[in-house]
Structure formats: structure tokens, C-alpha cells
Amino acid sequence: MKERLTIMYLPPPADYDDCWQRDIIEGVGAEHELRVCAYAAPVAPQFRDVDIVLDHGGSMGTREMADAARSVRLWQILGTGFDHFDLDYWRQKKIPVANCPGQFSAVALAECAIMFMLLLARRWNEVQFNLRQGERNMPLGLELSDRRLGLVGFGTSARELARRARVFGMKIAAVDILDILPDEQREYGLEFAGKPEDLDRMISDSDYVSLHLHLNAQTRHIMDAGRLRLMKPTACLINVARGALVDEDALYETLLEGRLGGAGLDVFTAEPVDPSHRLLRLPNVVAMPHLSGATDGTSRRRAACAAMNIDRIASGLEPLYRIDT
């Protein structure tokens, strides 16, 4: 028999779309007591007897909340990355932590990456300027067919991107720290599958390079000045993963000097991104404010993931996707 649990939801800022909260409420249902944290109110009374915390994006929890979470059996992050989450502190408090890994947002990220590639291929910023000036027939766009796509990392979002890029007739390569098996290469239409030592070669051969990595000490600035210079002067960089994977100063200089064709950026080192950020002023940059994963499908799938873990705890089972071990 399932136990009735008390759930504390840490919602996103008030200016976010309320579908995130609606899907959580529908996912948890009436089986459990769901509380919504009032950030302006004292913390300790709100966390009394709470069994599970649902933390939007892993960025809403504070150390004060962790200190008050004495009865919490699971801190569920409603997101994939946890580089903004103080995992070491939660470990010290012995609070189990889980996330919603890449498969729950992979489709949204892949679609965004395709959108960026299309916008850059059709020189969207120039097109919009010409449209407003009453010009037509310029500039000349490119087709994705027969262009080479290099995937840096071959997790779930990269695989979903490969599925879509294959439909566009692109030639696809991937590099990952794990072996990409022959069956996987055939399934996703990879012409080349390599390991980290093959990264520079793949980058230099690609017309589009798309990043699909977690941010850590090894991947920070993996696209530095040296690697950006390896790319073709007509090539474009796509980043829907984490901003600090890219040396933004080096990217700006490379684009400004015409040694790179363009960039599609959903993420930045400092967020929210400064509207006056110099990358945003370049005509060959298309960007969004960390929205690639913000879709109705992602919201529903993450809510379902959280609901599944709630049910597992209520049934006396271990949660899935723990990241604190």
C-alpha cells in the first residue's frame, strides 16, 4: 500500500509560464499533499514534515532550505543539469538528490538545434533587416542537405538531433567518451563515430558543430580559441547545453574576424544574459535566453518523472536517477 506523502514544490520565478506548475499539480494528483513554497515566508515551518522536495531546475533550493529539510527523503530536481546546485552541501546533509536526465528534454533541445541551423543557413538576421528595408531576393541561403554535422557528446539530445538531421540529408559524425557501438552508428546514420582524441579532426571537418555535454572541470571551455580556429570559416557553432562550454570572448573574436560563419546560442556563461552582451550584437549570431528545453513536452515529461519517483518513495522503493552517489 502506498504511503501518502507531503510534497514541497519550489516553483520557478513568477514570470515563468505556469504550465510547469500546472503539470506538477496534475502529475502528483490527489494522492499526496502538495505544498507550494512561499519564498517570502519563513522557511523552517514550511518544511516541517515534508517528505519530498520538487526543485524547479535545481536552482530554487537554498542552504537554509536544506538545513530545514530534516524529514526529506528525496530532493527531486526538475531539470537535467545540476551545475547551479550545491550538491556537496546536500551530501553533507545526507539528503538524497535525483534529477530528470537528458531523455526528458532531448526532443526539445534537438528541435532547437535544428532551428538554429536553419536560421543560420538562411542568414535570418540579414533577412529580417532586408525585409524591413523593403529589399527582396537577398541574401542567398544555404541548404542543410549534404552539410556535415559534428556532435560533441552523443547522449540523448545528440541522438534526437541526429535523427532529425538525417531527415535533412546531413552527413553526421559524433564523438563521445563512451564507445558508440556499430548498431548505434547504423541506427542514427553516423558516418563517423570517435572518442575524445578524434574531437579536433571532427570539428575541422564539420559545417555545424553542436555541443551536447554536461558542464564540469573537463568540459569547461572545451570550445576555446584553439578549437574555434579549427572550424571552417563558413562553419557554425550550436550550443543548447551549457554556456561555459564555450570561451565566449574567443567566440566573439572569431566571429568578428570572419573566421567562423555563425553561432546559435541558447545558453551563456552568465545568466540571465545581459541584453547588451556583445555576442548578441553580431549579425551572424542567433540566440535565445535558455529556452531550448522549455516546451510543453518537456514540462509534461519532467512532471511524469517526478511523479514516478514520488510513487517509488511512497511504495518503499529507491528513486531513479540519483545524482548524489
Domain locations along the chain = 6-101+295-314, 106-287
- Give Cβ neighbours of residue 317 (< 8 Å, ≥ 6 apart): none
**What number of helices (H) and strands (E) belong to the chain?**
12, 12
Q: Which helix (H) or strand (E) holds 33?
A: strand 33-36
- If one compares 83 and 303, the residue with the highest pLDDT of the two is 303
> 98 pLDDT exceeds 80?
yes
- pTM, whole model, 2 decimals? 0.93
Q: Tens digit of pLDDT for each residue in 132-166?
A: 989 888 899 999 999 999 999 999 999 999 999 99
Residue 26 has pLDDT above 70, yes or no: yes
Contacts of 94 by beta carbon, 8 Å cutoff, 6+ apart = none
Do 6-101+295-314 and 106-287 have matching folds? Answer: yes
- pLDDT tens profile 188-199: 999 999 999 999
Confidence class for position 229, pLDDT limits 50, 70, 90: very high
Q: Rounded distance, CA 9 to CA 306, Å?
A: 11
- Angle at 294 (CA atoms; ends 288, 295), nearest 5 degrees: 120
6-101+295-314: CATH topology is: Rossmann fold (3.40.50)
Average pLDDT estimate for 219-232: 98
3-state secondary structure of 121: helix
- Cβ atoms of 266 and 290 within 8 Å: the answer is yes
What's the pLDDT score for residue 28?
A: 83
Name the fold adopted by 106-287: Rossmann fold (3.40.50)
Checking if the pLDDT of 84 tops 90, the result is no
Taking each helix axis from N to C end, the angle separating 296-314 and 19-28, rounded to the nearest 10 degrees, works out to 30
- Residue 87, classified by CB atoms within 10 Å of its CB into exposed (0-12), middle (13-18) or buried (19+), is middle
CA geometry: angle at 191 spanning 169 and 117, to 5°? 40
Is 16's pLDDT higher than 80?
A: no
Catalytic residues: 242, 271, 290
